[in-house]
Structures are given as structure tokens and as C-alpha cells.
């Protein structure tokens, strides 16, 4: 009799665990599906996705931002956020540029230009673009564009973490462009 109750108890624990994870997986799938349906794109005429960034846009060149274009913007977009970072940096992800509250009618960022909106602090402790400058090897630089259903509060030189926290639950779509760079 005790063995039967023990097996019943194990079965109930197993089913509860299964239902918990199945529910969470379903929620994650919905979030991923929602993002997948949004076809927003970010591109550059300076480099293609997963290709090398010209040195002009790095610390070895003029250290200016590359031209970028946004397309297929979701309906209801009230602002954009652009974060450029390097996940391959030796000390952890290095942030190169944080732009937020970019107006929804902006569809391009010109070379060496900052669109209307606000700049946050990068890992160089500056509120500006800081080009790729990897210490060694080839690094990946993610140009991540977020379409938001809100305009974020104005912060005093926020960092990437503060912007990510503020935009949580307000992301309509996300797109990314990956550029590569290796110093000679």
C-alpha cells in the first residue's frame, strides 16, 4: 500500500513538473513567434550581414558610425532603440553605441551622423559611437534595432542595462545586423 502511494506521489510530482515546463515553453514559443512574425530589418550599404565592417568605421579608421537603414517597421511603433555591442570582448560584452527614443519616422542613420533621439553611455564611458577596436582575433558586432510601442523616459546618460530594463514589455519587433572586425 505504501509503495503504491509513493508511486502515485512521484507520478503527481512528475506531471506537475511537466505541466509547469510545458506552460513556460508555450509562453516562450509565443514570445518567439511574436518576434518572428515581425519582419523588421536593419541593413547597411557599408557591409552585409556577417561580413567585415570597413576599417573606416573602426578605431583603425575615422571611428565614425556606418550608415544604417530600417525597413518593414511594425505598425504602432512610437520609438526605436539601437544598441551596438561586441559579445566577444575578453571582459564580457562591450557596448559601442546606445541610442534611444529615435522617432518612428526615422528610417536611416547616415554615416557619421546621429539621428534625433538620445544617446546613452557606452563601455568607453561616452555618450557617442565608439567603433570596433578588438584587442585580438575576429569579433562580432551586433547592431540591434528595437521597435517600441512607447517613448522611453529621458534618463541622464543611461547605459545599455538601464535602456533594456526600461524597454522590457514594450518591444514590438527586433532586428539585427552583425558585422565582423579584426585588427591587422
Contact (Cβ atoms closer than 8 angstroms) between residue 82 and residue 97: yes
- Of the candidates 31, 61, 29, the residue with the CA atom closest to the CA atom of residue 46: 61
Asked if residue 120 has pLDDT above 70, the reply is yes
List pLDDT tens digits, range 79-100.
999 999 999 999 999 999 999 9
Q: What is the mean pLDDT of residues 44-57?
A: 98
Asked if residue 20 has pLDDT above 80, the reply is no
- Of the candidates 102, 113, 100, the residue with the CA atom closest to the CA atom of residue 156: 100
Extended beta strands in 44-105, E state: 51-52, 68-71, 79-86, 94-102
Contact (Cβ atoms closer than 8 angstroms) between residue 148 and residue 40: no
Asked if residue 51 has pLDDT above 80, the reply is yes
The model's pTM: 0.79
136/61 Cα distance (integer angstroms): 17
Confidence label for 11 from pLDDT (cuts 50, 70 and 90): very low
Confidence label for 184 from pLDDT (cuts 50, 70 and 90): confident
Which residues are CB-neighbours of 113 under 8 A, at least 6 positions away?
A: 65
Cell 513567434 locates to 33
List pLDDT tens digits, range 28-47.
333 433 444 459 999 999 99
Amino acid at each position: 500500500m505504501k509503495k503504491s502511494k509513493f508511486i502515485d506521489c512521484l507520478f503527481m510530482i512528475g506531471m506537475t513538473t511537466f505541466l509547469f515546463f510545458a506552460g513556460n515553453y508555450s509562453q516562450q514559443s509565443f514570445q518567439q513567434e511574436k518576434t518572428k512574425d515581425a519582419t523588421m530589418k536593419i541593413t547597411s550599404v557599408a557591409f552585409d550581414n556577417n561580413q567585415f565592417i570597413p576599417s573606416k568605421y573602426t578605431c583603425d579608421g575615422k571611428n565614425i558610425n556606418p550608415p544604417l537603414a530600417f525597413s518593414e517597421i511594425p505598425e504602432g511603433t512610437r520609438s526605436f532603440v539601437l544598441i551596438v555591442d561586441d559579445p566577444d570582448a575578453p571582459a564580457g560584452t562591450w557596448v559601442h553605441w546606445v541610442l534611444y527614443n529615435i522617432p518612428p519616422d526615422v528610417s536611416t542613420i547616415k554615416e557619421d551622423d546621429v539621428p534625433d533621439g538620445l544617446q546613452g553611455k557606452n563601455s568607453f564611458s561616452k555618450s557617442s559611437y565608439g567603433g570596433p577596436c578588438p584587442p585580438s582575433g575576429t569579433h562580432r558586432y551586433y547592431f540591434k534595432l528595437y521597435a517600441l510601442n512607447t517613448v522611453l523616459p529621458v534618463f541622464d546618460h543611461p547605459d545599455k542595462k538601464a535602456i533594456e530594463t526600461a524597454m522590457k514589455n514594450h518591444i514590438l519587433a527586433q532586428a539585427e545586423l552583425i558585422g565582423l572586425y579584426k585588427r591587422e
